Amino acid sequence: MIVWAGVMLLGGAGAVCRFVLDRTVTAAMGRPFPFGTLAVNISGAFVLGFLGGLALRPELALLMGTAFIGSYTTFSTWMLETQRLAEERRGWPAAANVVGSVAAGLAAAAVGLWLGSLL
């Protein structure tokens, strides 16, 4: 029962954090490119890497990674926004969104893993 409560609380917290960061970045940068989703997914990759580097108990790592980061990051929004860029015939921004997100996400996860392993 405690695990289910943790999933609900951490999942809700992750969703709220995602909403706040996405709106904050979008308000600051504008809407022509999905910078808000990019910021959310890269920061989520960093945090997940960091948690992996901490060598937490498997139950805690699964709970944090699945509940919080799972609701914080968003693959579906990333793909939908890329699709919309392509539909608007904005091929370069669409490609940059895919390539940049993957490259920056992998780098962020690696840095997070490295930093977490130092603790």
> Over 90: is that where the pLDDT of 58 sits?
no
| Binding-site sequence positions for Na(+) | 70, 73
More confident residue, 58 or 72: 72
In the chain, where are the structural domains located?
Answer: 1-118
Token pair in block for residue 76? 């579906």
In one-letter notation, the amino acid at residue 104 is A
> Over 90: is that where the pLDDT of 82 sits?
yes
More confident residue, 83 or 58: 83
- Residue-wise pLDDT for 6-15, tens only, equals 999 999 999 9
| Binding-site sequence positions | 70, 73
Average pLDDT, the chain: 95
Q: What angle do CA 33, 34, 35 make, to 5 degrees?
A: 95
